[in-house]
Structure 1
């Protein structure tokens, strides 16, 4: 068991399950509707907690009745929220359209409270932690201060950074982390259609890090700090039911595997395997890994 802190988002997700994705200016009836706690960092911690780690969230929580579900779910997953900022307002909220035909999801996100601040992060004692995971959000300047603070106070403490979107100035964070976890969407936004050219471009920005990019149905690709290329195929569930949170599940399994000192090949395989399990079920609970089929 390790102690893991994640800096990032916890949201209220309104999930509408649809028979198919609706046309613009149409009216359709949902087959199901759920309210869940979401957010990349919170999702990753929920999975890491299931993998046996002690987890804490450093984020912003709205102080109001709409946040009760978020707080209850974090507590259910034994995620410590004592480092969170509590502010008046509505919680960050996502409307998720889940296409049951193929398991894909479309998200509309609303947020009117600020991102987590460096001032709050400074109050956290760094001594207990074995790993800190950062979600690259719009507060890049604050995140840079946080990472510099970690490097000054605990240079031995391993840090990972999730880069999902092409946010302005996010590259200034790359030289300060040990593991970079990038999305295919970010690679495409930077003009790359193939994973290895993207990873070698990323190497120029982060010469010290292990580099990973998830590539959907092709699995995941990695470039270790010795510039050796690695790949794991995807693992397909018998039926794709829900891809919401699959990337967060992948990140959790990768962090867990790094903490177990596995090789990068094994780390990528662990991430792809658990992400495949996630795609075969709704929600993030009970992620027990059954046998899956490699995507050929």
Structure 2
């Protein structure tokens, strides 16, 4: 299996399904609920494992019951958690998430900001055998260390550029590929239009710039030109974790030596499949499911 190192945040999500988002301060009853692992990096690592890759996660957790549930869920998915560090007397991150009937979500997250941002253990770990490295913006020092390691070993270094992007500017500037969400691209450039934001970002960064724009597809900038790759149409049930699945699938494909255009098509298909299923990252597809779905779209 191709190994991908993923650095960033791991969370526990308490997910509630309902017809409409809450708008007033009162008690609500959910139509459905689940407790699932979450977090950009952790979700991407699970996606990589389900797609047939060897995912290794580097993350920071507290020394609490939430950490135990996070690790148990990751290990059950086959994610290597040897590079996850737990810190005494600290609390792990968790979120309350509302998902409405249209599949859109609202997230309230807690992070213990007293957990050190230090990334020394990530710098000093053995990076041999890693085919690509993916990092999110939630752990800036980890992102910078991960991108430096990718450069040093001559492998793709991909940044999942979610807002607030500039908190992780060192990692963004050192990445070989910067894959923004539409919101992240706007946050970075100040431009509302996804294509304009992608073009502006490409003039500011040395790495290849990509922007995922939901059902509109994915933009990549090559030789100063914006190239769109459409997303397959699906009946949207739940968008939670779709971007993380996209990043995991894209990173795995690059690690396998797949060309960028084909890697985007694969990632678009994996993310679209996830959107057609409920349960956050529980809806991440397998490789066989993704390839079969792509064949159906031909």
Alignment of 1:116-265 (within 5 A): 116-137=117-138, 139-141=139-141, 143-148=143-148, 150-151=150-151, 153-154=152-153, 156-189=154-187, 190-207=189-206, 209-224=207-222, 226-237=223-234, 239-265=235-261
Structure-2 residue corresponding to 1:23: 23
TM-aligned CA distance change 1:173 to 1:204, over 3 Å: farther
Distance 2:146 2:255 in 1: 22
Distance 1:118 1:67 in 2: 19
TM-aligned CA distance change 1:172 to 1:198, over 3 Å: same
8 Å CA contact 2:145, 2:171 repeated in 1: no
Structure-1 residue corresponding to 2:84: 84
DSSP 3-state at the match of 1:235: coil
* TM-score (structure 1 length as normaliser): 0.89
Distance 2:275 2:127 in 1: 34
| Offset, 1:129 | 1.2
TM-aligned CA distance change 1:150 to 1:278, over 3 Å: closer
DSSP 3-state at the match of 2:83: coil
TM-aligned CA distance change 1:255 to 1:142, over 3 Å: closer
Alignment of 1:48-127 (within 5 A): 48-88=48-88, 89-99=90-100, 101-112=101-112, 113-114=114-115, 116-127=117-128
8 Å CA contact 1:118, 1:146 repeated in 2: no
Distance 2:115 2:233 in 1: 38
8 Å CA contact 1:47, 1:252 repeated in 2: yes
| Offset, 1:157 | 2.5
DSSP 3-state at the match of 1:82: strand
| Offset, 1:160 | 0.7
- RMSD across aligned C-alpha pairs, in angstroms? 2.2
Q: Indicate the structure whose relative CO is greater, using CA pairs within 8 Å and at least 6 residues apart.
A: 2
8 Å CA contact 1:103, 1:240 repeated in 2: yes
Please list the CA deviations of residues 237-270 of structure 1 after superposition, one character each: whole Å capped at 9, or x if unmatched: 2x32111100001112212232343333322222
- Report how many residues are paired: 287
As a proportion of its length, which structure holds more helix? 2
Unaligned 5+ runs, structure 2: none
| Offset, 1:102 | 0.0
TM-aligned CA distance change 1:115 to 1:160, over 3 Å: farther
DSSP 3-state at the match of 1:84: strand
| Offset, 1:169 | 4.7
TM-aligned CA distance change 1:85 to 1:249, over 3 Å: same
Unaligned 5+ runs, structure 1: none
